[in-house]
């Protein structure tokens, strides 16, 4: 059945109004652009993210760089016909060559151009992913933090087990952060066990959650979420089936790392990243990607079950997030969690000029 123009226009207007209830700018933090293996030596990758067109390239010796995609000379796209030559990327239009720091090494015929400079973004490769920092920089262009907290993932103890990119979602990062303090929704959305990777309910089996949220005492940009869960089968608790979950929120939930400790098996670590990718929809279109590791002692099938169960439960939230609005002054009930404390923490990822009423 075809949608009438009037209905389509109404839907667009309602979605625009919904977007207007949220902060209209993207919060400051580190964002996942591409996976490292998408940019081998000598490669150029174009990426639309954070309301920008960017290029990620790697020199022939392996150095990584993220630049604004359009040449500052006359605007050619460095990701369309641009080529890595040695330690520079060459513009396809006039042959200007740019180093990894954005400085110009001159044209293809030589000669320097000190006044021409491409914008270089602070970039880091972490755990097989390329991240860039979006936000104001401090003195000497120092980023406020780098999320490199899990060196054990590079040890022989852990092995990479998979990655997954679902469809893009229409939601704001603030919602994912708030979810960690929304204590009451666990009983509504996450009590029923579902088959991993599906929305199919498992009859007679439920999950009992014990959750809490707290701020990191030493790193102001970090928050912690804990969830100890076990199975309830036909109304009877089975504590021995429990698993201890810990989520580390790095920055504005642009990177969230879940460690799930399985008794008698080992740990599963899931990286979940959120990157705003559409300029027209501002911060309300996110590319969500999952990447996970497990200790060698955890069987592959069990790892897939754990990750698939988490993603099945995440889809339950997405259905709500994609249709709700932001309420700046909610009427909270007695059973609600520390929402106001969460929002106060989240405000640090915005400029002071951002209207506080959009967040608090």
Say what the pLDDT of residue 23 is: 87
Give the pLDDT mean for 168-184.
93
Between CA 360 and CA 356 the distance in angstroms is 6
Asked if the model's pLDDT at residue 150 lies above 80, the reply is: yes
125-136 tens-digit pLDDT: 999 999 999 998
pTM summary value: 0.92
Say what the pLDDT of residue 47 is: 96
Domain boundary assignment for the chain? 29-141, 151-358
Region 29-141: CATH code: 2.102.10.10
Say what the pLDDT of residue 137 is: 80
Asked if the model's pLDDT at residue 335 lies above 80, the reply is: yes
Helix (H) or strand (E) holding 32: strand 29-35
List the 83-85 sheet strands across, edge first: 83-85, 88-90, 97-98
Judge whether 84 and 60 are in contact, CB under 8 Å. yes
Asked if the model's pLDDT at residue 109 lies above 70, the reply is: no
Mean pLDDT estimate for the chain = 91
Say what the pLDDT of residue 181 is: 94
Give the pLDDT mean for 140-151.
87
210-227 tens-digit pLDDT: 999 999 999 999 999 999
Question: For residue 244, what pLDDT band results from cuts at 50, 70 and 90?
Answer: very high
Q: Judge if 29-141 and 151-358 fold alike in CATH terms.
A: no
Region 151-358: CATH code: 3.90.380.10
Say what the pLDDT of residue 187 is: 83
List the 123-126 sheet strands across, edge first: 29-35, 129-134, 123-126
Say what the pLDDT of residue 25 is: 86
48-107 tens-digit pLDDT: 999 999 999 999 999 999 999 999 999 999 999 999 999 999 999 999 999 999 999 988
Judge whether 258 and 245 are in contact, CB under 8 Å. yes
């Amino acid at each position: 059945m075809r949608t009438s123009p009037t209905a389509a226009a109404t839907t667009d207007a309602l979605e625009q109004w919904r977007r207007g209830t949220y902060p209209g700018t993207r919060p400051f933090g580190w964002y996942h652009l591409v996976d490292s293996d998408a940019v081998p030596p000598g490669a150029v990758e174009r990426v639309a993210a954070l309301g920008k067109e960017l290029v990620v390239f790697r020199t022939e010796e392996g150095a990584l760089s993220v630049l604004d995609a359009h040449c500052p000379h006359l605007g050619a796209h460095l990701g369309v016909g641009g080529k890595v030559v040695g330690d520079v990327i060459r513009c396809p239009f006039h042959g200007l060559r740019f180093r990894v720091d954005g400085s110009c090494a001159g044209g293809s015929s030589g000669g320097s151009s000190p006044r021409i400079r491409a914008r270089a973004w602070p970039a880091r490769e972490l755990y097989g992913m390329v991240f860039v920092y979006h936000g104001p920089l401090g003195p000497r262009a120092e980023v406020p933090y780098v999320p490199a907290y899990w060196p054990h993932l590079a040890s022989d103890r852990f092995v990479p087990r998979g990655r997954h990119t679902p469809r893009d979602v229409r939601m704001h990062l603030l919602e994912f952060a708030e979810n960690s303090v929304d204590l009451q929704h666990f009983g509504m959305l996450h009590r029923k066990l579902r088959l991993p990777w599906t929305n199919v309910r498992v009859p007679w089996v439920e999950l009992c959650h014990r959750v809490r949220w707290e701020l990191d005492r030493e790193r102001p940009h970090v928050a912690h979420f804990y969830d100890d869960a076990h199975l309830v089968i036909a109304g009877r608790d089975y504590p021995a089936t429990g698993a201890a979950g810990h989520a580390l929120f790095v920055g504005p939930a642009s990177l969230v790392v879940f460690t799930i400790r399985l008794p008698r098996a080992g740990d599963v670590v899931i990286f979940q990243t959120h990157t705003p990718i559409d300029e027209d929809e501002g911060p309300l279109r996110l590319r969500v990607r999952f990447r996970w590791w497990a200790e060698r002692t955890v069987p592959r099938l069990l790892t897939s079950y754990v990750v698939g169960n988490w993603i099945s439960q995440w889809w339950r939230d997405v259905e709500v997030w994609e249709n709700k609005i932001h309420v700046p002054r909610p009427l909270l009930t007695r059973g609600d969690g520390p929402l106001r404390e969460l929002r106060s923490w989240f405000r640090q990822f915005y400029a002071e000029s951002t209207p506080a009423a959009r967040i608090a």
